[in-house]
Structure 1
């Protein structure tokens, strides 16, 4: 199966059948299940293309699976507290967890706790990375959304073995919501993308990450629980506590900074769920919408017609549901991970460390630049050319010896043959007759 196939990943609060499940959204069949524990909301993510990680809903644990195995790997992940939000950087290098009001940043390869950031005043609800891994955003029940530069959070500017949790400063701090921010979504384009929020105060705000300016604030009559956006960033989908999903077109002018829905827009909703919406996700081609709810159902919608395509029944309320491009390792018998995964440390021991080592798996020569690689390749090619020239020279010499031997054999054969006297006499008679005829013609012409 190729990596171009899109699947749906879900988890529920019961954990009776499995912790997480991989579904075929076009058929509704189960492709893979992962067992053990129960995933908390906003706490399920891939680590690169090799592992799946989730934060437990009850215990201060992280569950990790190899993508091709149902059982958890033998790496114990104990956290300082119950994980309320989790995000993995797109390159699989860093893990950011929200534990109560603090952010914990781990390095995946070493398990080293890089920073603990106590910037929020209430529980962290959601964490999202930009697609270029340079920044991540954290939302909290205190109504704030903070944008963090990853390099400043994990770097150690004064002392290489000094924790920087006190000196890490955010890029932006958005405090425009009056109640808890329940979900955030970041589009494509790194720090030139848009960030969309959903809050229990009934508003959704859109920010430009490049400038930090709020572009739009959409006002609803009910509290919002989750948000997602199409890949072209032309439509936004917002889930409410009433179980309805509101589509919002961003191409409809004109608008002021604060926008209130019209009566027509209030009636134009996806309505099949009976309880609060917990998860929303849009497929890559923006043709399907995936929604999860407290009513124990995951529904796949057709976006253009707003019709329900199929329902995926679960045993508990939905905690995580999202579309993903399936990695080939899910269906591989022999998994060869490209990432090193170490057990996460519960506290930072940077003051007592003299050195630390980062384990990597890389088949390429990462310490050799392109210029030196080109020089080595040229040297190799030059050696190959010299070797071919010597082979050609030896072949030419062998051919010359063969030619000389054949010529010698031919001449030796001619010397051994004796001349035929009858043949020689016949030749002489013929030549004499020709001379007499020629002489006679010449005399006739003179007379």
Structure 2
């Protein structure tokens, strides 16, 4: 891959003017900056399609969104949340945004800003939330050590779209795990959709690996220090575990131990040593040959995965809070950005009058019935509108039949 084909996005504390920096990590030069978003919270840096960057501000219930080609935020739209957020993730099709706010998990429809559901199963604040790579599942981990897995179809289904504020949490989770005895600090999900594994780390010094489809515990790795971050490579064969002492432990899952629990002691030497304080974030580049890690010591370190040598150090004025490798596509440099994503302010209450979704031929585009009606009435002649409405009604019937058939087949072959 071309050495200039990727950028490293990062955020750090004590940053008054610049919220996000985009580095050429081969040279260490800053190529783009995104301003006026305050200090970005950990686990809140997201790329929306190839169009926007999103972060949540520390100590304020605000989201900040920038077009990738501009250092200034989107104007005339305020993204206000019900409270300060702990973690944010966006599904791979850019249809939904999930936010951990206190004890509750909020799920919005991104293009319309509608609040789809509010889920509450935790007894202490949620610390991290993740979508699966195919957008089929949502995972949430909390300070209480509880891990909860939801099916996205249950969260956004017709029935649950009518959840009122007094009946939050009506959507039952697919599974609930209480394997950790202390706060879950991070969750990483593999890249194989419903067949993938995912890993969690905790202050109880354990890293646990599960199957995402049913929550089956596959392996528990026990270390000597509290753990802060976890990352798997693209094949889910290698796992990197960051500790609060500053070390990064690498474990090869192709030769798993025969027991369900495996103790990693001082004799285990596959370790990346370079940080002086807790590891706060990590990411692998597209080729999985370079590892980036950030720490509370204010350093970003680029590692050669094969040799564990330090390729480059980037020093910042405060703790590193987020790191992410992204492809350096043409949107970063274009003068006029043509976006494929429509953004609206996020609602604070569940819309009890919400109707069904309409899914067009483009499976990534999801809108609501009443939005279609509104746009049609403004710009389409009445006769054409009547014909279109008839076709929409027919398509609704066909979509419902296809959906029912799909669910029936899924239950039959996944039982």
One fold, TM greater than 0.5? yes
Q: After TM superposition, give the deviation of residue 131 of structure 1 in Å.
A: 1.1
Separation (CA, whole Å) in 2 of partners of 1:211 and 1:289: 30
Residues 1:16 and 2:16 aligned together: yes
Counterpart of 2:81? 79
Distance 1:349 1:177, change over 3 A: same
Distance 1:351 1:68, change over 3 A: same
Residues 1:184 and 2:198 aligned together: no
Separation (CA, whole Å) in 1 of partners of 2:126 and 2:328: 29
Distance 1:213 1:162, change over 3 A: closer
Contact 2:137 2:152 in 1 (8 A): yes
Contact 1:162 1:351 in 2 (8 A): no
Q: Name the SS of the counterpart of 1:357 in structure 2.
A: helix
Contact 1:4 1:325 in 2 (8 A): no
Deviations 1:8-39 (A, max 9, x none): 11001112341011111222111211111111
Separation (CA, whole Å) in 2 of partners of 1:296 and 1:169: 41
Deviations 1:106-157 (A, max 9, x none): 1111111111111111111111111111112111111011111112111222
Counterpart of 1:218? 221
Separation (CA, whole Å) in 2 of partners of 1:53 and 1:332: 19
Q: 2:282 aligns with which of 280, 283, 304?
A: 280
Q: Name the SS of the counterpart of 1:306 in structure 2.
A: coil
Contact 1:299 1:309 in 2 (8 A): yes
State the TM-score, normalized to the length of structure 1. Answer: 0.76
Q: After TM superposition, give the deviation of residue 3 of structure 1 in Å.
A: 12
Q: After TM superposition, give the deviation of residue 326 of structure 1 in Å.
A: 3.1
Trace 1:216-365 onto structure 2 (pairs within 5 A). 216-265=219-268, 267-351=269-353, 356-357=370-371
Separation (CA, whole Å) in 2 of partners of 1:63 and 1:121: 29
Counterpart of 2:47? 46
Aligned length: 363
Q: Name the SS of the counterpart of 2:267 in structure 1.
A: helix
Q: After TM superposition, give the deviation of residue 166 of structure 1 in Å.
A: 3.7
Separation (CA, whole Å) in 2 of partners of 1:210 and 1:148: 10
Q: Name the SS of the counterpart of 1:191 in structure 2.
A: helix
Counterpart of 2:58? 57
Distance 1:52 1:76, change over 3 A: same
Distance 1:295 1:331, change over 3 A: same
Q: Name the SS of the counterpart of 1:42 in structure 2.
A: coil
Distance 1:260 1:353, change over 3 A: closer
Structure showing the higher strand proportion among its residues: 2
Larger mean CA deviation between 320-329 and 275-284 belongs to 320-329
Distance 1:4 1:234, change over 3 A: farther
Larger mean CA deviation between 281-290 and 220-229 belongs to 281-290
Q: Name the SS of the counterpart of 2:155 in structure 1.
A: helix
Q: Name the SS of the counterpart of 1:80 in structure 2.
A: coil
Distance 1:125 1:162, change over 3 A: closer
Larger mean CA deviation between 272-281 and 344-353 belongs to 344-353
Separation (CA, whole Å) in 2 of partners of 1:88 and 1:325: 17
Structure showing the higher helix proportion among its residues: 1
State the TM-score, normalized to the length of structure 2. Answer: 0.82
Contact 2:3 2:26 in 1 (8 A): no
CA RMSD of superposed structures (Å): 2.7
Contact 2:300 2:313 in 1 (8 A): yes
Q: After TM superposition, give the deviation of residue 225 of structure 1 in Å.
A: 0.2
Separation (CA, whole Å) in 2 of partners of 1:327 and 1:150: 30
Residues 1:168 and 2:171 aligned together: yes
Separation (CA, whole Å) in 1 of partners of 2:295 and 2:354: 47
Contact 2:130 2:188 in 1 (8 A): yes
Q: Structure 2 stretches of 5 or more lacking a match? A: 357-368, 376-387, 393-415
